[in-house]
Structure 1
């Protein structure tokens, strides 16, 4: 097998585990379908194209490069890889799959004539076989951490080489995987290649059973912020005449803690020139929930969705005096980072592993992170060493330190410059990943 050693035959225990797993999924299929329907009431895209979830859909011309990006973060990382693949192989046809609505929505921007976008099928043998028969890709590229027992088993039988790109595996995930080793070990062995973000990720992937693992870096460093949006955000910031503290890509539990800490920290400040709090949640289905939190806390709120298009010169006058702005729009992170003087990293103040701190650095925004950054462990440590970020233990402490930094412009500017340099220094992963992907596609 080019690109890796031949996969070992599955043991009886492993075949039994996959059979039990498949039976459970088949029994759960009605509940899964109902869940999609109910989720579609809030996010209509979830209810769109339901047959694709079970492997149905029009047949396409064989030979596409298949990239699976489960959600928004993986899709954004895939953008840098897809761009490089197109540079190296003009005319490349892309098959792009997702699991979440935010991933599928963001993925639309990556499509060109001849490309196809689908939902990843439910991981039952029949659904996966139908999907593979209708798409017949030349290679399957799973972004970051996606491993599916039936998907990879059926791809191996169909002769579709599967690999992980931008791969990461935390120590916690490796330990959890040991509990389901009979199910996951064959899937790991079936991978032809894993392109790991770090040496530590590579070591853990080898322990999980992947034969061929190479360290290639993190694609998120290759993402360039939208310069037009970044400039627009900076223009908006200049017109505010007040500093902006951003809670970036926040998760459950963090917004309430932030609002409480914000009230305590800013109660004594006069309204004129007082800082503005900008909250940008990770999940769009929580926008209304967080808006209600703000108003229930007695703070005045302005929602980005009420401002109009991103090319307006200035936000409404009423927004300029609000206590809190809610970033309730999609694909405008560069706009929000352009607005921010300093940011707090969402997902790092609860045990959730943190969000993408690389994008913060690329936009030149000083960052305070909490103790939980295991999803971006190496990037977090490198950013700390570079002086682009600082780590604190609690969200109130992060807010206090961020507000203090606003009073020290030279120190803040030095952190901003360090952030930009840090992001630039680690680019190049897309080029390192594109060549082996295309080699497998041509094998």
Structure 2
């Protein structure tokens, strides 16, 4: 679908300096929508000074928050480029989930200009690590109507793919007003999120009804999106893109190099995507497990980069020799803890461990991706707080590919039992692999869904030949 030229009429009406006939939609004013949008936008403008406080306070912990403020408010110095395909993924997890989709389209349609937005610096770093200069990254601006207008009119997306649960009303209405088809891809909506939208349901429901399709992960997600206001015909269940995850290239060589450096034959467990409130419990778990296996190595990958130094200090204070990926590159034979203080290597390190604990689950965070360790053959243990991965965790547990501890002690029991039982680990590995294989296909279905709204193909001129001897 080409850029809608009538969009400029909407922009002109908002004082953005463009002039064109207004669309039929703009002529048919929905006064109910106008009222709730106005109240929502007024509330955002009133609290907008707090966005500066947020950026500054986060900046003291993560320096990247002090940079690129112009993008947060959609202040772009450069002239607009040619129309693009826009994907929004809030942070690292959503970027990783979108990777199979983006990679496939990059191969099939190298002519498409891509813009990917995130909200977090870690999401930005992951975009750069995955795609480098092939994709332009900017931060998604705050959902102020002026900022969203400037963003959309600058990048001129011909198609918007919104990952999972990013329901910003002015963003969705702005796309509708400018004729940009929106697909909510890999859409999920937990019961907790549905309750959280309760006060904004009249507004969110109207915004949802502007999208082309909600491609839900499961029937439960589809039901909740309908309860939030999406029309029945808008919602389709396509499955979860996370099942289409692929093992990293060169994985066998990575694991062999890890084993050679770390002393080989050592038992290894990994604590991944842990949060601040779980760190003391990880230390206690490692101490308990080391009492049974004195040579046990812990690979520790905190969820947020600002916690890297803190977990190093906690491990050192517990009396263990600590190595880090940035400093030593590989664990040394005498290391008790090895901190993975890089981004984008977690799946490879999962494959180096006999068992994995996935964090965000001993605190009411909602859990993190349980399929990544299973995809590389590592049994998975988690805590009880899994509302963000309710469907995946239910399927994995039913298949025998996941063990859930009721608390930290229960997680320790599961880790100890698996480290003690190679046969049980092998059964979980086989169950996880079979589950992932059986549930693949969301990628193909999503590509089929959006095919009609992809921009028309543009032939790329070949690079000029270099004259001999030049």
TM-score, length of structure 1 as denominator length = 0.89
- Determine the C-alpha separation between the residues in 2 that align with 1:340 and 1:112: 29
* Aligned match for 2:198, one of 178, 183, 186: 178
Query: SS state of the match for residue 361, structure 2?
Result: coil
Q: Residue 306 in 1 paired to residue 290 in 2?
A: no
Q: Residue 35 in 1 paired to residue 48 in 2?
A: no
Q: Per-residue displacement from partner, 1:293-328 (whole Å, max 9, x unpaired)?
A: 2223333322222123xxxxxx36xx3222222221
Q: Residue 189 in 1 paired to residue 213 in 2?
A: no
- Determine the C-alpha separation between the residues in 2 that align with 1:112 and 1:337: 24
- Determine the C-alpha separation between the residues in 2 that align with 1:106 and 1:34: 25
Deviates more, 1:359-368 or 1:40-49: 40-49
Q: Per-residue displacement from partner, 1:396-417 (whole Å, max 9, x unpaired)?
A: 2222221222222222222222
TM-score, length of structure 2 as denominator length = 0.84
- Determine the C-alpha separation between the residues in 1 that align with 2:38 and 2:252: 50
Aligned to 1:311: none
* Aligned match for 2:391, one of 378, 383, 389: 378
Deviates more, 1:71-80 or 1:382-391: 382-391
Aligned to 1:252: 276
- Determine the C-alpha separation between the residues in 1 that align with 2:438 and 2:252: 20
Query: SS state of the match for residue 240, structure 1?
Result: coil
Aligned to 1:142: 162
- Determine the C-alpha separation between the residues in 2 that align with 1:97 and 1:177: 23
- Determine the C-alpha separation between the residues in 1 that align with 2:309 and 2:33: 45
Aligned to 2:74: 55
Deviates more, 1:376-385 or 1:106-115: 106-115
Is the CA contact (8 Å cut-off) linking 1:233 and 1:334 kept in structure 2? no
Aligned to 1:413: 426
Aligned to 2:285: 261
Where in structure 2 are the equivalents of 1:224-303 lying within 5 Å?
A: 224-229=246-251, 231-237=253-259, 239-267=263-291, 269=292, 271=294, 274-303=295-324
Aligned to 2:405: 392
Q: Deviation at 1:265?
A: 4.4
Is the CA contact (8 Å cut-off) linking 1:166 and 1:196 kept in structure 2? yes
In the alignment, structure 2 segments of 5+ residues that lack a partner are 2-23, 457-470
- Determine the C-alpha separation between the residues in 1 that align with 2:293 and 2:230: 58
Where in structure 2 are the equivalents of 1:96-135 lying within 5 Å?
A: 96-111=116-131, 115-135=135-155
Q: 1:125 to 1:436 in 2, by over 3 A?
A: same
Q: CA RMSD in A?
A: 2.5
Q: Deviation at 1:11?
A: 6.4
Is the CA contact (8 Å cut-off) linking 2:56 and 2:66 kept in structure 1? yes
Q: Residue 348 in 1 paired to residue 361 in 2?
A: yes
Q: Per-residue displacement from partner, 1:130-154 (whole Å, max 9, x unpaired)?
A: 1111111111111000010111112
Q: 1:112 to 1:346 in 2, by over 3 A?
A: closer
* Aligned match for 1:325, one of 330, 338, 349: 338
- Determine the C-alpha separation between the residues in 2 that align with 1:228 and 1:397: 35
Aligned length: 428
Rg comparison, structure with higher value: 2
Query: SS state of the match for residue 343, structure 1?
Result: strand
Where in structure 2 are the equivalents of 1:14-29 lying within 5 Å?
A: 14-29=33-48
Aligned to 1:339: 352
Deviates more, 1:13-22 or 1:140-149: 13-22
- Determine the C-alpha separation between the residues in 2 that align with 1:41 and 1:108: 23
Q: 1:296 to 1:109 in 2, by over 3 A?
A: closer
Q: Residue 162 in 1 paired to residue 174 in 2?
A: no
Is the CA contact (8 Å cut-off) linking 1:217 and 1:429 kept in structure 2? yes
Is the CA contact (8 Å cut-off) linking 1:10 and 1:186 kept in structure 2? no
- Determine the C-alpha separation between the residues in 1 that align with 2:348 and 2:89: 24
Q: 1:28 to 1:134 in 2, by over 3 A?
A: same
Q: Deviation at 1:234?
A: 4.6
Is the CA contact (8 Å cut-off) linking 1:302 and 1:322 kept in structure 2? yes
Aligned to 1:434: 447
Q: Deviation at 1:421?
A: 2.4
Aligned to 1:425: 438
Q: 1:41 to 1:229 in 2, by over 3 A?
A: farther
Is the CA contact (8 Å cut-off) linking 1:231 and 1:335 kept in structure 2? no
Is the CA contact (8 Å cut-off) linking 1:353 and 1:375 kept in structure 2? yes
Is the CA contact (8 Å cut-off) linking 2:269 and 2:297 kept in structure 1? yes
Deviates more, 1:376-385 or 1:291-300: 291-300
- Determine the C-alpha separation between the residues in 1 that align with 2:209 and 2:203: 11
Q: Per-residue displacement from partner, 1:55-87 (whole Å, max 9, x unpaired)?
A: 122343343111001100111111111122234
- Determine the C-alpha separation between the residues in 1 that align with 2:409 and 2:118: 36
Is the CA contact (8 Å cut-off) linking 1:80 and 1:223 kept in structure 2? yes
